[in-house]
Structure 1
């Protein structure tokens, strides 16, 4: 009988340790799930209002939307923006798969209500996951990009 009691004591200790281990693994899995976004659908940046400061929004575009300006903006867009915003501005570029937040749909008709100064500010300052392009592109390049974005068909 003493051997049996010893065995039961060892089994109960083992069960206790196993319960603690399962609890710890469960808590760890829950923390990892919560930290990674928890399976919540990725937000569309147009649904989360990204507002520019009033002073920036009221800034007027000093570059007329000429064919040369639009072509220069399109060249920048094709090299830099298309990976996330997509060829037609539908936020379906190949890099979108990697993002937790979807980029703005530049084909969204709501974009027409956004002032040029606001678009310029957003291009300049960025907002995660979109990088800031204030130091990468000249002011002229950023205004040309605004002019090109205005030509993307809205639907």
Structure 2
């Protein structure tokens, strides 16, 4: 063999031995670190939350409870005083002209100009061929007569119906302001209004 070939071979072996030794040492170090348990924990936790339980130990000062007056539970105070805190209902002056126009634009198409429930859309709503009829072709009920509804509902109830809608009547809460909805309700209840029958 050649001297040069021997040098290359011994160099290669020493490098291979060095790398093998380094890999073996790294493997042993990783295994040793993996076997060490984390400090502050138990080797086997039967009930894992028992370690963190807030138990009372002997010779320990008692824990502080909640503040006694933090929650009103004893009924102290006057109920009327609590009601006085509520904001009062905002009122604005009733404008008969604005109420009539709002009624004409939003309500007369179903309830009619005089409030009798005979508007132009009432014929479509009560038709057995309309989308409001059931599967058997039974027609939907006609829009209510608002002149008669004045005897059954007060202004607050009527305002709730106008705001939230009922059955096929749409919700006007998102469409009209509170003042406009009150103008419509007051127009319906205004017996001196030129449009609705007394």
Structure 1 position 135, deviation (Å): 0.3
Per the alignment, do residues 119 and 72 of structure 1 end up closer, same or farther by CA in structure 2, a change over 3 Å counting?
Answer: same
Rounded Cα–Cα distance in structure 2 between residues aligned with 1:112 and 1:72: 23
Query: In the alignment, does 2:144 pair up with 1:104?
Result: yes
The answer to whether the 8 Å contact 1:60/1:116 transfers is no
Tell me the matched-pair count. 92
Q: Which has the higher helix share?
A: 1
Rounded Cα–Cα distance in structure 1 between residues aligned with 2:103 and 2:113: 9
Per the alignment, do residues 93 and 61 of structure 1 end up closer, same or farther by CA in structure 2, a change over 3 Å counting?
Answer: farther
Per the alignment, do residues 129 and 113 of structure 1 end up closer, same or farther by CA in structure 2, a change over 3 Å counting?
Answer: closer
Query: In the alignment, does 2:197 pair up with 1:153?
Result: yes
Superposition RMSD on alpha carbons, in Å?
2.0
Rounded Cα–Cα distance in structure 1 between residues aligned with 2:109 and 2:123: 10
Give structure 2 stretches of 5+ with no counterpart: 1-87, 126-139, 191-195
The structure showing larger relative contact order (alpha-carbon pairs under 8 Å, at least 6 residues apart) is 1
What is residue 45 of structure 1 aligned with on the other side? none
Out of 89, 92, 104, the residue aligned to residue 63 of structure 1 is: 92
The two structures have a TM-score, normalised by structure 2, of 0.43
Per the alignment, do residues 63 and 153 of structure 1 end up closer, same or farther by CA in structure 2, a change over 3 Å counting?
Answer: farther
Give structure 1 stretches of 5+ with no counterpart: 1-58
Rounded Cα–Cα distance in structure 2 between residues aligned with 1:145 and 1:91: 16
The answer to whether the 8 Å contact 1:84/1:93 transfers is yes
The two structures have a TM-score, normalised by structure 1, of 0.54
